[in-house]
Chains A and B, each alone.
Chain A
């Protein structure tokens, strides 16, 4: 099974609303990253949160990390139609090196 599992698998919201998605993982980590993938394109890095951080912001993005629950959340505030994409969390399993394991993703549809 994959290290990171996103929830929900799909999300449909109206423009202007907030979108929240969650990621759970099984083993300890050093860092957790979130990526976005637009249809037909490669993944784009959004934000990285270290295991000793609890919250991080970048523009309209807010990421939280709860290592005791082995979970993270990504919040997109004031969503726009351009935010329509799939969102993936990626973890490093706490091992040395730079290997990442990606979750199955959350498909977000923002309706104008």
Chain B
């Protein structure tokens, strides 16, 4: 079975540009999570969805960040405008139920560099 698929794997762009990260969760999973990982701050939860509905976006750093889940098989994380401090690895994860007793399945991330 395919795991969580993220694209692109790497993105290098100049500050001020719009960046869109994409995620396809595991089929049948109804919870989706967006994380950001940096050396300084570790792994931070940005936002998560249950059944395509955003549940908690308290980790979204600024209004420059937005996330959508238009259907059960696709989600996007958008940064507009991007800044150098947004450079990080962004992970998407999915789980099968809305419960903390379920493992989360991670994609291999998008390594984002903002110049």
Query: Which residues of A are interface residues toward B (Cβ below 8 A)?
Result: 2, 30-31, 33, 40-45, 48, 50, 88, 90, 92, 95, 97-105
Contacts and interface: CB of A to CB of B under 8 A. Distances in A.
Contacts of B95: 98
A40 B100 contact: no
A100 B100 contact: yes
A99 B100 contact: yes
A99 B56 contact: yes
A45 B108 contact: no
Contacts of A98: 31, 48, 50, 95, 97-100, 102
5 contacts: A31-B100, A42-B108, A88-B43, A97-B99, A103-B42
Contacts of A88: 43
B55 interface: yes
Interface string B86-107: 0000010101011111111111
Contacts, number: 64
A43 B91 contact: yes
Contact of B106 (A43, A48, A104): A43
Chain A, interface SS category: loop
B100 A92 contact: yes
Nearest to B108: A42
Contact of A45 (B43, B45, B99, B105): B105
B25 interface: no
A50 B107 contact: no
A98 B45 CA distance: 12
A76 B48 CA distance: 31
A107 B105 CA distance: 20
A45 B31 CA distance: 16
Nearest to A95: B100
Interface string B71-98: 0000000000000000000010101011
A104 B45 CA distance: 13
